Structure 1
Amino acid sequence: MRRGPLVVGTERRVWCYMDHPRAKEAVRALAIFAELIKSPLQVREYRITELSLWHACALGWGSREVLETLRDLAMGPIPYPVQEWIVLTMNRWGGLVLEKSGRRYQLVARQPLSEGVRQALQQSGLLERGGRWMVPARQRGEIKRQLLSLGYPVLDMAGHAPGEPLDIDLKEAVILRPYQEEAVQAFFDEGRHGGSGVVVLPCGSGKTIVGLAVMARYRQQTLVLTSTTTAAYQWKREIEDKCEIAPDSIGVYAGDERVIKPVTISTYAMMTWKNPRGAMPHLRELARHPWGLVIYDEVHLVPAPIFRFSAGIQNCRRLGLTATLVREDGREADVFSLIGPKCFDLPWRTVEEEGWIARAECYELRVPLDPAAEEAYRQAESRQRWRIAATNPRKLEVAAELVARHRGTPVLVIGHYLDQLRELAHRLGAPDITGDTPERVRRETYDAFRRGEIPVLCLSRVANTAVDLPDARVAVELSGNFGSRQEEAQRLGRLLRPKKDGGEARLYMLVTEGTEEVETAVRRQQFLAEQGYEYRIFAVRAGVEHAFDGVSQ
């Protein structure tokens, strides 16, 4: 029997040897039912979790498919305890089903439950009748969240109440790409996940179009929640451009504009704003409306209060859109139970190979620490050492050289620390946009960049969210938010809109050599490594051109 690239450990860890001929095949398979936790060049380490297996279940996989895949790709036998655990875990999928009988919700146990689960149901005040628990409508979301935390996912088949009707259609000129059509169909697949779930597609691949197609197919009044006011207005423009809908049916509830229309677009920040008494008036106001559909754009950024809002609106359909389900706060389970499981997921490289997003190359440039900062770095506490490394003055020189190397190409410079970003913007004579930049100025600057009037744009963490800059080809990362995998994916995503000439995009991550920043860079790259992106590492000691000697622009 031919040996594969995987080693499966007793603690549900899986190691993939990347020099094996079948390594890429193994990486694609593991992305369905495991989580990448370490991604050095030679051996990647994965972890199989309950949640990763249940996401696989939602995509139609069972324990047989997972075990057959592992056996096919493993170097040796799969430990029996791991096989047994996979079977037991995946068999719980469908063991608890939420159904609707008349006006009542019933939780039906289709397999024996542990005593702990029974006690939890009793403590929640639910009445049992012949293996069925009566669930009040107000507890529908919370019961699902609670049971998932106890190791029992609830298959919610109770359906959804129709909202107010919406007169909307896609324009005839809008043709969905094959994978967009598949994503829409997966969302409406009542047989598996009950009509609510998360669509995972790479940045630049048209997730918004999927949302519009769902709106047009469902034709119910819709609330769209976005990460920023800029993103809210982008959604408004897309709806106006691609949908047949009365202009006065679309409203933005963000910033100074606060109107509720049949299609209302708001932001997570607006929804969670608190008045001096600690109340959230905007959340309460929007929750009252009879929505038929709620769309969560950038669902990986949903803040905790929105989960509580989601728990209370289980009666309407919920569509999450994201490029990555990675959350740095560890609340992936809340997305799963309150918004929905993953119903469609397409690897980034697959979309790239089909020509729907730009080809991209990633580089990690290791820059020496400025001699003037070496002593301070050695004596500093860990967190302060990180900042010293991240704001290394040598990075400004390297960034300026990279911008010069790509003169004539639209370039984004992205940084976490504002003083560093503004200093470079001043040196380059480029505008900068930060969280303090007024919304009007942001929109004007973005538009000027799109028109080609601004060749270089410096962005703070505002670049981590849905900013549509389709012609950007190069991004230079000065600094980031520690080891955020989510942030790294979003930054590459700013470059992935397909280019008119078919050209490729380039992402440069600047890392201070010999510091803690090298270790956090490995973590930042994990999600993209899982998607098939490899960072080429170069040491920049005598200038960028010397480091890239022999590498084409």
Structure 2
Amino acid sequence: MPDATLTFEDGTVRVETAPETTLDPPHTETDARSKTRRAPAFRYAALRRWLDERAVDYEDSVLDAPDLPNVASTYELREYQHDALSAWQDAGRRGVLELPTGSGKTVIGLKAIEDLQTATIVVVPTIDLLEQWRRELEAEFGVPVGQLGGGEQTVEALTVSTYDSAYLRADELGDRFGLAVFDEVHHLGGEGYRDIARLLTAPARMGLTATFERPDGAHEVVAELVGGKVYAIDPDELAGDHLAPYDIKRLEVELTPEERERYEAANEVFTNYLAKSNIRMRSGSDYQELVKRSGSDPEAREALLAKQRAREVMMNSDAKVDALEAILDDHRHDRIIVFTAHNDLVYRLSERFLLPAITHQTGAAERREILGRFREGDYSRVVTSNVLDEGVDVPDANVAVLLSGSGSEREFTQRLGRILRPKDDDRPALLYEVVSAETAEERVAERRR
């Protein structure tokens, strides 16, 4: 009789030991009802490793994950992709890989599946990525691929799921996969989504992202659930060889006298309240304190509204529209994506320059049509708010115009990545940052860089 038995039950790994043993496995708690010990499902790999290191004889019936039928990908890994996969393998087949948008993170995931030949779930944040991964898996491996999300609920040995669907079905999926690949893994730091990784027993885990660190520090939770960052490479290291070389140009524009008056007046309301309330705004927690106060303090609420008015003036100024007109004229033969922070500006630019517009209000069918026409060359430019930052298969462009955005490094990296795929010619990709001079937007631009 083995000294220990591992089974899966109710999202946990149950450890039953023989009466004569005195094992005290880590990460476990005593279950008084069954007189066994239990550990969260994501600790399964650590439990096995602990037992193996002590040469404990144990019976393992946790996973119900079938082997795959000898799948193989036709992709050849580039040197940096091979290094990334090797780093993940050396880390016990756990960990996060941080690579720029357009560098082929999906290919590394496919090679990890080929390496392990075990049932795999790929978890993605959007329907676009769901469809993209499913196409790749079917084309490369020629086996049925399950889909959870987008109106379909089927489970196969290879399955692609949205984060939302995986969260809703995590209990029943817990023991069915040997490998879990989390695309855009920083999403896993969200409070609810964490349960996906907690309830899966998958001993092999791979996170893929262009920007791992989260401003709220939740990447530390992701590191516990998936593994820490085991490989990272900067866009600059790939530019010219594997990604398009690129330049970044910052254009500073002036507010009109009327805009300057509105900006200064709104900003004064905000700064006066901060001085009066001794709020320093040195971190996100300071801003959250102001938001909390606004629920009961009318002055705090007015300060927040004033701050929003000032942001709208500096981000949507007339001079930015004029600057975009000049850029569009200079790059009339290029493929251009224009990014803004506000939908109102998207529609304003769309109407003025006859640009196809994509926002969160754009239906899925219309968005696919616009991107399809952009890919085929029928459209040479599009304008969008935040919906194309990540999780969407965006056709190649060589010029991006950042008219407005947040101070997020992740947002900046994702937008830069939209123009970094290799091109047929040697011209560098070009990112324009258009910034309102002598406003808080200058600090925002520095922060995201």
What's the TM-score, normalizing by structure 1? 0.63
Pairs within 5 Å for 1:190-205: 193-205=91-103
Aligned to 1:255: 150
| AA partner of residue 112 (structure 2) | V
87, 101, 107: which one aligns with 1:186: 87
Residue aligned with 1:304, SS: coil
Classify the secondary structure of the residue corresponding to 2:255: coil
Q: CA deviation at 1:387?
A: 2.5
Give 2:182's match in structure 1, choosing from 274, 281, 296.
296
The one-letter code sitting in structure 2 at the alignment partner of 1:506 is: L
What is the SS of the residue equivalent to 2:217? coil
1:245 alignment partner in structure 2:
142
For each residue in 1:99-153, what CA deviation from the matched residue of structure 2 results, as whole angstroms up to 9, or x when unmatched? xx84469xxxxxxxxxxxxxxxxxxxxxxx7996462553365899xxxxxxxxx
Alpha carbons 2:119, 2:157 under 8 Å: kept = yes
1:370 Cα deviation after fit: 2.8
Matched position secondary structure for 2:432: strand
Counterpart of 2:250 in structure 1 is 364
| Superposed displacement of residue 265, structure 1 | 1.6
Answer yes or no: is the 8 Å Cα contact 1:293–1:317 preserved in 2. yes
Pair 1:102–1:505, CA change in 2 (3 A) = farther
1:340 positional shift: 0.7
1:236 correspondence with 2:137: no
Alpha carbons of 1:483 and 1:239: their partners in 2 closer, same or farther (altered >3 Å)? same
Query: Structure 1's 406 and 102: CA in aligned 2 closer, same or farther, altered over 3 A?
Result: farther
Q: Answer yes or no: is the 8 Å Cα contact 2:177–2:201 preserved in 1.
A: no
**Alignment correspondent of 1:12:** none
Instruction: Show structure 1 runs of 5+ residues with no match.
Output: 1-100, 106-128, 145-153, 273-280, 526-553
Deviation, structure 1 residue 168 = 5.2
- C-alpha separation in 2, matches of 1:288 and 1:406: 51
Query: 2:244, 2:429 within 8 Å by CA — same for their partners in 1?
Result: yes
Contact persistence 1:162–1:316 (CA under 8 A): no
1:263-412 to 2 correspondences below 5 Å: 263-272=158-167, 281-285=168-172, 287-288=173-174, 290-302=176-188, 303-353=190-240, 355-380=241-266, 381-412=306-337
Contact 2:407 2:447 in 1 (8 A): yes
Q: How far apart are 1:194 and its partner, in Å?
A: 2.6
* Kept after mapping to 2: 8 A contact 1:222/1:291: yes
Separation of aligned partners in 1, 2:348 and 2:179 = 45
User: Residues 476 and 510 of structure 1 are in contact (CA less than 8 Å); yes or no, is this contact kept in structure 2?
Assistant: yes
Deviation at 1:426, TM superposition (A): 1.5
Partners in 2 of 1:162 and 1:360 — Cα distance? 47
CA separation in 2, counterparts of 1:470 and 1:501?
16
Selected match of 2:78 from 166, 177, 197: 177
Report the Cα distance in structure 1 between the residues aligned to 2:435 and 2:394, rounded to whole angstroms.
25
User: What per-residue deviation string (whole Å, max 9, x for no partner) do you get for residues 150-182 of structure 1?
Assistant: xxxx9994599572222353344x211122122
**CA–CA distance in 1 between the matches of 2:212 and 2:373?**
32
- Deviation of 1:386 after TM superposition, in Å, equals 2.0
Provide the C-alpha distance between the structure 2 equivalents of 1:134 and 1:337, rounded to a whole number of angstroms. Answer: 12
Query: Do the aligned partners of residues 351 and 139 (structure 1) sit closer, same or farther apart at CA in structure 2, a change above 3 Å counting?
Result: same
Q: Is the 8 A contact 1:297 1:320 kept in 2?
A: yes
The code of the aligned residue for 1:236 comes to: R
- Cα-to-partner distance string for 1:495-541 (whole Å, 9 max, x where unaligned): 1111112321111111111111111111111xxxxxxxxxxxxxxxx
Contact 2:42/2:202, CA 8 A, preserved across alignment? no
Partner of 1:301, secondary structure, is helix
* Unpaired segments ≥5 residues, structure 2: 8-21, 29-36, 53-61, 267-305
RMSD value, Cα: 2.8
Determine whether 1:465 maps to 2:390.
yes
Give the letter aligned to residue 424 of structure 1. Answer: L
- Quick one: distance in 2 between partners of 1:367 and 1:452? 31
> Secondary structure in 2 aligned to 1:138?
strand
Q: In the aligned structure 1, how far is the partner of 2:125 from the partner of 2:25?
A: 39
d(CA) in 2 for partners of 1:155, 1:186: 22
Residue 282 of structure 1 deviates from its aligned partner by: 4.0
From 423, 438, 441, the equivalent of 1:517 is 441
State how far apart, in whole Å, the 2-side matches of 1:208 and 1:263 are.
15
Q: Distance in 2 between matches of 1:155 and 1:407?
A: 60
Aligned pair partner of 1:422 in 347, 372, 382: 347
CA contact (8 A) 1:433 1:459 kept: yes
The TM-score normalised by the length of structure 2 is 0.77
Give me the whole-angstrom Cα distance separating, in 2, the residues matched to 1:375 and 1:399: 23
SS in 1 for 2:192: helix
SS in structure 2 at match of 1:305: coil
